[in-house]
């Protein structure tokens, strides 16, 4: 069965639009985009489109590639103090001369809509509510919820340990009583570990997981987004082969990507 992220995200966005109509003070998203990375520009425009669709405000602050750390942090402080701004998102990746941690640290945790700040990550690690949940992992859990999939007691294997996907995904699954294994580029016997997964989440950006490694009847989430030799957007996994083997699978595109956007909008509406 296909876990349809496109359909589910549309449903969530429609529900949020109804909720926004009842809000006296509409939330507002501020996105900072540094440089001209074409993929980042596409991601930012889909966030703007979603904000428009649900009827909340959004502002995109475009800064040139050569922007220095001080200019960027000053901009963030300005947005922290702007009462009309509910959530601040700094689109990654940042140019190499900018220290990502310094930028993250500048964001007020109560406006840290991506859950990047140490305070929010710390809260998540302690099993307390962060002010905002990390968007991609939250989007994945929203999709599982939509299909009535309970992760409790299941063995979830995550391939990838980034701060954006792998690590917060592990913690959120743990907080929901799953048993979690996190794999990465140094993991030995990856095949054997993947074979034990009831829930497999691939967040690598390349084809590491092969079809023969995946347990039949498992639940498979493909977070990866990359382009094949023809420029077509593809995931980490071979969807056409796996769809006949596993119980549930997300497509790419149309799986985790739209759920990430919906999850961001959920955060915007549920801001502290
Ligand atoms: P990163 O590049 O930060 O992390 C990739 C992870 O994959 C690392 O932990 C790395 O291990 C691991 N890895 C690399 N090679 C192997 C290997 N041979 N075996 C096992 N593990 C390996 O990526 P992100 O987490 O930021 O993103 C992952 C993918 O998800 C990308 O394609 C990205 O575009 C996509 N993405 C999609 C989103 C969506 O909304 N759909 C949102 C965010 C990301 P190590 O740590 O050892 O280097």
Protein residue with its CA nearest to atom 17 in ligand 1: 185
Tell how strand 199-202 and strand 219-222 pair up.
parallel
Q: Do domains 23-109 and 135-257 have the same CATH topology?
A: yes
Whether domain 23-109 has CATH 3.40.50.10860: yes
Where exactly are the structural domains of the chain? 23-109, 135-257
pLDDT of residue 152: 98
Cα atoms in the Cβ-side hemisphere of radius 13 Å centred on 207:
11
Closest atom of ligand 1 to CA, residue 187:
20
- The number of beta carbons lying within 10 Å of the beta carbon of residue 20 is 18
Its sign, for the CA torsion 242, 248, 250, 251, is: positive
The shares of helix, strand and coil residues in the chain, as percent rounded to the nearest 5, are 40, 15, 45
Protein residue with its CA nearest to atom 22 in ligand 1: 185
Which residues in the chain show pLDDT less than 70?
none
End-to-end CA distance of the chain: 36
Kindly list the strands in the beta sheet with 28-34, ordered across the sheet, starting from the edge strand earlier in the chain: 57-63, 28-34, 87-90
Q: Which CATH architecture has domain 135-257?
A: 3-Layer(aba) Sandwich (3.40)
Rounded Cα distance, 161 and 231, in Å? 26
Annotated active-site residue in 114, 138, 167, 222: 114
Ligand 1 contacts CB of residue 203 (under 6 A)? yes
E strands within the chain?
28-34, 57-63, 87-90, 155-159, 179-183, 199-202, 219-222, 226-227, 233-234, 248-249
Examine the residue annotation and report whether 126 is marked as an active-site residue of this protein.
no
Annotated active-site residue in 91, 167, 171, 215: 91
E strands within 186-247?
199-202, 219-222, 226-227, 233-234
């Amino acid at each position: 069965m296909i876990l349809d992220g496109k359909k589910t995200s549309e449903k969530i966005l429609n529900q949020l639009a109804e909720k926004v109509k009842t809000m006296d003070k509409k939330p507002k998203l501020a996105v900072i985009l540094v440089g001209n990375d074409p993929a980042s520009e596409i991601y930012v425009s889909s966030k703007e489109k979603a904000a428009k669709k649900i009827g909340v405000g959004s502002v995109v602050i475009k800064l040139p590639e050569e922007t220095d750390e001080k200019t960027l942090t000053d901009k963030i402080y300005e947005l922290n103090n702007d009462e009309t701004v509910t959530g601040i998102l700094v689109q990654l990746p940042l140019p190499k001369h900018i220290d990502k941690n310094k930028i993250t640290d500048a964001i007020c945790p109560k406006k840290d809509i991506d859950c990047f700040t140490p305070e929010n990550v710390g809260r998540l690690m302690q099993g307390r509510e962060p002010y905002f949940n990390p968007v991609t992992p939250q989007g994945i859990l929203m999709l599982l919820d939509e299909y009535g999939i309970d992760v409790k007691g299941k063995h979830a294997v995550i391939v990838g340990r980034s701060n954006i996907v792998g690590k917060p995904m592990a913690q959120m699954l743990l907080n929901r009583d799953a048993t979690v294994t996190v794999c990465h580029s140094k993991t030995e016997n990856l095949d054997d570990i993947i074979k034990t997964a009831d829930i497999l989440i691939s967040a690598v950006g390349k084809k590491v997981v092969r079809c023969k490694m995946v347990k039949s009847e498992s639940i498979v989430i493909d977070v990866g987004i990359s382009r094949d030799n023809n420029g077509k957007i593809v995931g980490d996994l071979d969807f056409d082969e796996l769809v006949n083997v596993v119980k549930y699978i997300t497509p790419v595109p149309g799986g985790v990507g739209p759920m990430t956007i919906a999850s961001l909008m959920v955060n915007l509406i549920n801001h502290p």
